[in-house]
Structure 1
Amino acid sequence: MKLKGLSFLMVVLFTLPVYAAKVRGSRVGANEKSAGFFVEAFSSKGRVLYKSIKLDENGKFEINFPSNESLVYWIDNYPVFVKPNEDLEIILPEKKSNVFVLGGDNPQKNVAATDQKGSSNIQIAGKSSINSLLISEIETSWGNFVKEKKGLQTIEEINGQYLLATKLIKNSKDIEINKYASFYNNFRLLESKIQYLRMHPDVKSDKSYFDVLNRISLNDQAINSLKIIGLRALISNYYAFLKLSLGAKISDDDLSDNGSIGKMEYLLKNVSAERVINEELNQSIIYHLSIKGWSPELDKVMVIAIEKITDTATKKNLTELREKYSKVSKNTIAPAFSIPDASGKMVSLNDFKGKVIAIDVWATWCIPCMHSLPFFLKLRDKYKNNQDVVFVSISTDNAKSKDKWISFLKSKGMNGVDLHAGDESATPFEKAYNITGIPRYILIDKQGKIIEDHAPQASEPEYEALIQTALQTK
């Protein structure tokens, strides 16, 4: 009987969560009426915690999270390194302050505080607590440096800041946390160096300038701890810095394009980190589709990406997007549409059979549209006597803004083919042509095939050149 009882106890113990991290604390001068905050945590699977935290009547809070791995908790935007089974008590500063305090029952006991340049001024109490805030120290140190220099830092000052942050890391004896802190330090160094090159595009740098690339890997476990915006920034900066080290120019489109095919091909070939593939590669593809549309080059990327992505929902979404966008792309038959004009008369794509059709998708609230629309109207006036081309403006203003749209047409003297796709009966146009951003320019040839589904803006010389080429084609 005793053996059976012991076996039962062992089963119970092994079915309970073995790891449970706890973060508790309070905010100085706060109560239940004070604003709360959000806490986030990330792993290789992506975001594993996103929670709104409210304070009780004493300004206190508690966060419990079972985990079998060390995680960086972003608590009110402060990165705190938390290990399994760890119990941390923190004291958040008043909202107006950037000071962050970590402590136990007596925050004034064994306090390690410093006012030196670059410090985050964090007061720390407890034997292991100093390590938990090491990443916060690094982030704040770099943040203060950038704020102080206002983008005018020299290379010597950037290297000096790196060494200062490195000294902070050397004060810690925790190998695991030090690896994460070093990753953040190298990330910020790379970020500052590439920013310097953007500010000084004519500067010639030797190979040693790019040495930080040897200290950063996009497969590093620490990359999983970054918030989404930080992950995106790191990958873009890393790829651009790498290309610059190989002789690229800072002005190259491949370096500034968030949906660069070159960057996506690099990730597919060199990165195995699950979160990078599932999140960043996926977002790069979606961004590219929304800005430039589908192409055979992108399709090759999508096929491999769909195979490598492990998240089921993401894989399914990309598969559907691939099919959807490939149907409305260069050389495909333009989807039919029927949209009302200002008088309510329905105008169909078929009405312009045998003509080159130049479409401008816009809205009265869209500032970039307002900058580009005059160029479109100028071209419409230039070709008004050419029976082989028609310029069609299609507004996506919603139904409630239709009167505003009509008034705008009158104020600008727009009396050509101007349609309103914001009515409920016309919204299928936006779905058919995958309108996810405006202004959007679409060119259709005399045979009803799409010349470009994401054509250059009307302000660009390439736009009229495409129209001229289409007019000369029988």
Structure 2
Amino acid sequence: MFQKALKIITTVLLFLVTVHVYGGNGPETTVTFKVHNNTGSAVALYKIENGEAVKLSFRIPSEMDTCMFSFSMEKEGVYFIQRAGGHMPAFNYVIYLKPGDNKSVDIYASKLGLDFDSCKVQSPNHETVILQTWANLFNGVVKLGMNRTKKDEYIIAYNKLAEQAAELKRKTPSNNSFFKKVFTLKLDADLQYARAAAFFHYGERMNSGLDSNSKRSQFYQPIAKQKICNTGLLQSENGLALLKYNLGYQLFQKYGTQEQMLATSFVEKMKMICNDTVRAVYALDRMKQITNYEQFKIDIEPFKKLFTTTDLKQAYQKKVDELTVYAKGAPAYNFSLKDTKDQTFSLSDFKGKVVVMDIWAMWCAPCLAEKPLFKKVEEAFKDRDDIIFIGVSHDGQAKKEVWKNFVEKKGWKNIELLANYDESIGKYYKVEGIPRFMIFDKEGKIVTVDAPRPSDPEFKLLIEQTLQSNSEK
């Protein structure tokens, strides 16, 4: 019975593809944040998907220091709250949401902190209380584990953490069987992660040394015995990292050197995983890192049979397109679209300029959240005549007049174009989710058709690199 439930949970997790935080069906779920001592920090919301925490969206507090996330939800689940732009080794604040929830959260911020000082969920459900209790315990041990000089203390703290985990499992109410199973799997994965990560001093790339002290070897021995077959690891935000650490440890035991461990091919690592669901997740993660089609054919093509669902097939084809038709340096699509004054613009009109494009829609809240940041980046380049920023609305021709009024009301002065989502740019580049940002060089060739969002510093950096590269030609 438990294995059947685990299979159902894992299937839901693996094949959930989030277009943006407003996607999906089901009751409307709302989380409202009140940011005390607001210094302009945005609030980011994350969800566990495929063994990692994926950012769904972020919100900038209003003049009243509040912001809200509202989205349709089919399945209850674990979410994390973090200061947008912060890069923390772990998530400090957690909330468990159910379809139809209307939750309020008080956030306390300071100007210099990488994360919020505290987050307090008003009237939290018992699932949130239990998860936050675990997060507090777990994160304290992880922080200790990052100190290479305190490994012996870490092992003592780890053993105590394992006892606390067992106690939390026993105390978890059984009135929500779904949560009880998910929570149990998450705790097991988190504990395995804390053991395996410690061997590599929590170094994500596993290239900054390892714990070679023979006195502690017994602590790591369980890693060698773990077959990488358990889909339960996907229930933790540390699951994907756990998978990589386990592979790294077992390869180190096999070859005896860190150099040979790191040099092991992706294909060999895939053969060590004995569950197709886990292998598919690992392949999806590997695809993000591949930048040329030849490597794709070596690493991913042999495992094409793992991409069985519609979502996985789309992800596979999207990567193929990205590395071929949409590859950097390939000719960009020469669109022809009208602006708010019915003047027609084509990409070829901007030859000699770097073109930065924002694909958005009036109904898309994440798009509208990114728009001011897009404008801010545009402002940074206002003194240059070799770059232009263009907006392309996917609201469609049927809403032409509404779109015109919307743009006018917003006071946007840059070129704003209108298109049907299934024609022109949307059709050629197979745009399925927005916002979407694209960059083209001065010769009308693709730099990227899936750029980071303006809220990511990499967005501006990529523009600067493109301008510099074009200037050197």
TM-score relative to the length of structure 1: 0.49
TM-score relative to the length of structure 2: 0.49
Larger relative contact order, structure 1 or 2 (CA cutoff 8 Å, min sep 6): 2
